[in-house]
Structure 1
Amino acid sequence: MSRFSPFSRPSAPRYAQPVSELLSRTDAFAPLRAGVEQMAAMQRDLDALLPDYLAASVEPGFIKDGKLALFTAHNALAARLRHLEPRLVADLQARGWPLDAVRIRVRPQSVKETKPPKQARMTPVGAAALRALSEELPPSPLQIALAKMAARHSNKR
């Protein structure tokens, strides 16, 4: 027995929606939507102005008192960004951004978990089949690789 009334209409299928669409549903989110749009526009301009290796690692913050906060992943990128700061400020001003300076901050990224090493195991029958195949092949890189693999797996008992 269902807990819903048979007269209730089925819910609409859920799908991913753009953030701008969600924020435009009510006026209460108008300031947040403006901030999100400003950050997206700043990110597009930074992507156009910065070299690829920097653009992928720089995140814009908000403009406060004429200073734009830029966040980088580590000190080396921050140092390189400081060298480009005068030109970057001039280019952003030319694109209409109301800023006088840039504050560069380091925001370390969380350490990604390393994958455990593979621990593939082969049965003795599989190792014997590889050994037999490597003995049938003519001398070649494939034959050598198969012989090494068979030897490695036949020694692990």
Structure 2
Amino acid sequence: MPARKRGSLTDHLADSDSFARLADQAERLRQLQALLDAMLPIHLATAARVANLKRGKVVIHADSGAVAVKLRQLGPRLAAGLNQQGQEVSGIEVRVQPGRRISLPQQKILPKELGIRPKQSLTSLAAGLPDGSPLKAALERLLATTRE
């Protein structure tokens, strides 16, 4: 039996007409997603996904109703921007489809910088407050997270 030549997944998909159409559609959706990500602010881009392209209309899934409302407001501008990028888009349809949430990496909280004099003033203020005082507790937490 002759050895079969291994090809890439793209090569295999291109061999069949139905898979070729599917691969073309997937590539168009990937391009639309990249363009949409570039056009939207980060908080909207992480909550919106291109779901389909039907008869020139881009279907976008939003993670929440609030995101969907904003995307609908931006719809005509997004369609015009996609057309300027060479995509044939007649409109934008937005659907709420909660699900996948991309969590952004947690930013490391750096200690606050506080000068020597302000730190000494806050330390003496905290020392003069009665034990159990909410202000004293807050000042002690603040002083514990600061550096000079």
Q: TM-score, normalised by structure 2?
A: 0.56
CA–CA distance in structure 2, aligned partners of residues 34 and 92 of structure 1: 18
1:60 aligns with 2:44: no
| Structure 2 residues not aligned, in runs of 5+ | 1-6, 102-148
Deviation at 1:85, TM superposition (A): 1.6
The secondary structure found in structure 1 opposite 2:93 is: strand
Correspondence for 1:99: 89
Deviation at 1:71, TM superposition (A): 0.6
| Structure 1 residues not aligned, in runs of 5+ | 1-16, 112-157
CA–CA distance in structure 2, aligned partners of residues 96 and 50 of structure 1: 18
The secondary structure found in structure 2 opposite 1:24 is: helix
Structure ranking higher on relative contact order (CA contacts 8 Å, 6+ apart) = 2
CA–CA distance in structure 1, aligned partners of residues 46 and 100 of structure 2: 16
Structure 1 stretches of 4+ with a deviation exceeding 6 A read none
Over aligned residue pairs, what C-alpha RMSD do you find?
3.0
Correspondence for 2:22: 32
Correspondence for 2:64: 74
Q: Give 1:43's match in structure 2, choosing from 5, 12, 33.
A: 33
Deviation at 1:81, TM superposition (A): 1.1
CA–CA distance in structure 1, aligned partners of residues 38 and 64 of structure 2: 21
Cα deviation digits, residues 7-61 of structure 1 (max 9, x gap)? xxxxxxxxxx975455235444111111111111111111111111111111112
Deviation at 1:63, TM superposition (A): 2.3
Deviation at 1:83, TM superposition (A): 2.1
Distance 1:110 1:54, change over 3 A: closer
CA–CA distance in structure 1, aligned partners of residues 98 and 65 of structure 2: 9
Residues matched between the structures, number: 101
Cα deviation digits, residues 98-123 of structure 1 (max 9, x gap)? 12211110112179xxxxxxxxxxxx
CA–CA distance in structure 1, aligned partners of residues 86 and 71 of structure 2: 20
For residues 1-157 of structure 1, the aligned pairs below 5 Å read 20=10, 23-24=13-14, 26-109=16-99
Q: TM-score, normalised by structure 1?
A: 0.53
